Amino acid sequence: MKSAIIIGGGFGGLTTGALLAREGMDVTVIEKNHHIGGGLQSFCRDGIDFETGMHILGGFNEGDTVYRIFDYIGILDRLRLKRSDSDCMDQITYLSPTATTPASATTPASATTPASATTPADSSAGHPITYRIPQGRAAFTEALCRYFPAERDGIAAYVEALYQMADEVDFFNLRPADNFFKVHSDRFMQPVDEFIAGFVSDPRLQDLLAYMNPMYGGVRHQTPAYIHALINVLYIKGQFHFIGRSQHMAEELARVITEHGGRVISGDAVTAVEVEDKHATAVVTAQGKRLTADYVINTLHPQQLFDLLPEGALSKAYITRLSEAPLTYSAFILYIVFKPESFPYINHTCYLQDDYGLVWSHGDYDDATWPRGMMYITPPTENQGPWAQRMTVNCIMPWAQVAQWADTRVGHRGADYEAWKHRLAERIIDKMEKLYPGFRDKVQTYIAASPLTIRDYYGSPCGALYGYQKDAHDPARTMVMPVTKIPNLLLSGQCVNLHGICGVPLTAINTAEVIFGTNTIINKINAHAAHS
């Protein structure tokens, strides 16, 4: 029986551990926080549970990639998920558009009653305008064509290109392949904004087609089109939200590990990885444990791993490249508890922007105008009725805005930090008040989290939401393989390959197959699906 120590008990560490344990390995997962889960962690305020991350889920339709992975691991039937509305998976609102909007678009739904119907909007500039995007390839395409009939041919070609690009990636589709990094189409590494502009000319439509940007940290002229394609295809197929606590997914993954003889240790950080003769021999923890295994698998950000290794264990060039590679932006998050029966439950994801033309500048911070955009959801609870109990509002924010408090710790950041958070939280409430008059009176309480919170709870340097910032012009700069120059030291997590609900499990498979052989896990997943 081979053994593995996994550093980090977040989504990546637990999924990797569950796969290895299921294959018969003796697995030990070590998490520095008292609660496992990373971005799956939940917390409770006023008796209401909130997710810290992983707010929107894709890939859970029967037969989809994520569905097959977690069915194979053995937790799919234990996950509590709610599907978004089929006729509106996403709602995108421009609060004060300066450009004339398509006459077929609508104003936002009323927040004074649980009704979901919308009313016709004045199509002149300056009035809030909302686009309702349904799930499913055909419905998604047709909805965009109704909003922009003059762009029908371009929209159809654009959606076709999305699906073709996603189909190029065998790994994304759980198809056995000899090499994930194969020769791709010319569009694959094209900057995503240029990719979109190659199909449609209306700048409003170009902006709208990029509305999922906050799901992958897109940057103009830089982010490769394939990232955009994989994320869009994943969610166009259908979106889901956790019911109640996202923490239960982490607990189910931990259950798989322990039921197969493994261990999940929380509240103890790894402080060193011992290396001799290019072999990881042991890990040492803050509580004085010294643990040995055949493999050590790091799911933390590579920068954090480098601090654990002895000098010279890895090449300076490798360490410098991954230490200096740019990270994706972070976020300021507001968690709201509503007064009873005051705000309607919305069974889809909502995006808000002040105007067209801002979708590629989420990472730019201007204190006078922040937040110019946000994403908000009302996560479902058990036995969800017509009224929302809670709301989560995500506003993109660069790390620089909290750098002055970088050396502080949770609960001890000082009065100036708390005042800053309160000021920005009130701005978000003001923005929601413009969209939903009377919103402020419906709020019972709220709590705010900053990039510092994300850094400390996720273990992500600078609170980066999606690991490294991919660059269409220099893909090698942020390329991270699951293998290192130390043969038994492997990598997993969102900084390897892809991020998110689909990317992290795929990376876990990639890492597991370093041990068991290319396509071994994928073939077993597909065989299991064929007999289910």
Which residue in 474, 462, 464, 510 sits closest to 490, CA to CA?
A: 510
Contact yes or no for 109/116 (Cβ under 8 A): yes
Q: Report the C-alpha gap between 247 and 341 in whole angstroms.
A: 26
Beta strand ranges found along 63-188 (DSSP E): 81-83, 90-94, 129-133
Residue 476 in any domain: the answer is: yes
User: Quick one: pLDDT at residue 55?
Assistant: 84
**CATH number, domain containing residue 280:** 3.50.50.60
Rounded Cα–Cα distance for residues 235 and 159 (Å): 13
**pLDDT score at 40:** 86
Residue 317 sits in which domain range? 3-44+55-81+244-325+470-530
Stretch 49-68: mean pLDDT, rounded? Answer: 90
Residues 509-521: tens digit of each pLDDT: 999 999 999 999 9
Neighbours of 341 (CB within 10 A): 13
Average pLDDT of span 45-72: 90
Q: What is the mean pLDDT of residues 298-307?
A: 95
Question: pLDDT digit string (tens) for 423-447?
Answer: 999 999 999 999 999 999 999 999 9
Fill in the DSSP letter of residue 106.
B
CA-wise closest residue to 397 among 328, 335, 458: 328
Confidence of residue 181 (pLDDT cuts 50, 70, 90): low
Question: How many domains does the chain fold into?
Answer: 1
| pLDDT classification of 41: cutoffs 50, 70, 90 | confident
pLDDT at 116: 32
Contact predicate 64/72, CB 8 Å: no
Helix (H, G, I), strand (E, B) or coil at 171: helix
CA dihedral 492, 495, 496, 500 (to 10 degrees): 90
Q: What is the pLDDT of residue 464?
A: 93
Asked whether residue 17 is domain-assigned, the answer is yes
In a domain? residue 283: yes
Q: Distance (Å, rounded) from C-alpha 77 to C-alpha 313?
A: 43
User: DSSP label at 74?
Assistant: T
pLDDT tens for each residue of 209-236: 999 998 899 999 999 999 999 999 999 9
Structure tokens at 360: 């590629």
Alpha-carbon distance of 282 to 291, in angstroms, equals 5
Per the listing, tokens 């920068």 go with 303
pLDDT tens per residue, range 377-386: 999 999 999 9
Q: What is the pTM (predicted TM-score) of this model?
A: 0.93
AA identity, residue 139? A
Give the C-alpha distances (Å, rounded to integers) separating 406 from 44, 435, 470, 506: 25, 34, 25, 32
CA-nearest of 335, 329, 387, 339 to 361 is 329
At 174, the pLDDT band (50, 70, 90 cuts) reads very high
Q: What is the H or E stretch that residue 509 is in?
A: helix 500-516
pLDDT in tens, 93-107: 999 898 776 766 665
pLDDT over 90 for what percent of the chain?
82
Q: How far is CA 215 from CA 141, 230, 445, in A?
A: 20, 11, 27
Average per-residue pLDDT in the chain?
Answer: 92
Residue 17 tokens, joined: 């551990």
106: in domain: no
What pLDDT score was predicted for residue 110? 41
pLDDT for position 106: 61
For residue 410, being part of any structural domain is answered with no
Cα–Cα dist 239/476, whole Å: 32
**Contacts of 333 by beta carbon, 8 Å cutoff, 6+ apart:** 392, 393, 394, 395, 448, 449, 450, 453, 454
Structure confidence at residue 347 as a pLDDT band (50, 70, 90): very high
Report the alpha-carbon distance of residue 516 to residue 512 in Å, rounded: 6
Under 8 Å between Cβ of 508 and 12: yes
Structure tokens at 62: 């029967």
- Which residues have CB under 8 Å from 225's CB, separation 6+? 165, 187, 188, 189, 190, 191, 192, 195, 472
In a domain, 317, yes or no: yes
Residue 392 amino acid letter: T
* Whole-number Å distance between alpha carbons of 402 and 455: 11
Closest residue by Cα to residue 210 from 353, 83, 369, 109: 353
Strands 280-285 and 290-291: antiparallel
> Could you tell me which residue, 179 or 487, shows the higher pLDDT?
487
pLDDT for res 125: 66
**pLDDT tens-place string over residues 350-359:** 999 999 999 9
In-domain check, residue 321: yes
Of the given ranges (101-110, 194-203, 386-395), which has the lowest mean pLDDT? 101-110
Within a domain: residue 455? no
Strands (E), 195-294: 239-242, 263-266, 270-275, 280-285, 290-291
Tokens of 114: 């649980």
Q: What secondary structure letter does DSSP report for 329?
A: P
Residues 192 and 471: beta-carbon distance below 8 Å: no
